[in-house]
């Protein structure tokens, strides 16, 4: 049984080495050259074409402008981050407005000095 396994292993190893390391020495046989086809003849494909290939065939090559370079989840994260930043800015502006109203109720004028391009005199 061991002899049978050893011979099978040796045969497999020999066939793998023959594919990976072909003998092309001076006295050894070289692989047969493929016959050249005329320039007008169609080139034979190694695999049969799918019947769906003619429907999906696109004569124009892909360009970089047609495909997105960034993954969609990165864009979604950036949009969410910008929305969060806008909410925080609005909350800060509202906090400042509430603080101005609270100060005005106590008698402090903290409003803007310029309204619609006109300087407002500050009352004392």
Name the residue ranges covered by the structural domains of the chain: 79-111
pTM above 0.85, yes or no: no
Half-sphere exposure of 23 (CA within 13 A, CB side): 8
Contacts (Cβ under 8 Å, ≥6 apart) of 122: 109, 113
Per-residue pLDDT averaged across 54-79, rounded? 77
pLDDT tens, 33-58?
665 655 666 666 667 667 666 666 66
């Amino acid at each position: 049984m061991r002899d049978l396994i050893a011979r099978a292993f040796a045969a497999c190893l020999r066939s793998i080495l023959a594919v990976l390391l072909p003998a092309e020495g001076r006295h050894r046989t070289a692989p047969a050259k493929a016959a050249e086809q005329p320039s007008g003849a169609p080139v034979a494909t190694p695999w049969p074409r799918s019947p769906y290939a003619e429907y999906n065939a696109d004569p124009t090559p892909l360009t970089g402008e047609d495909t997105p370079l960034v993954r969609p989840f990165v864009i979604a994260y950036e949009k969410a981050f910008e929305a969060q930043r806008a909410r925080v800015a609005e909350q800060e502006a509202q906090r400042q407005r509430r603080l101005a109203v609270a100060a005005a109720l106590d008698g402090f004028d903290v409003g803007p000095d310029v309204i619609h391009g006109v300087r407002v005199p500050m009352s004392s």
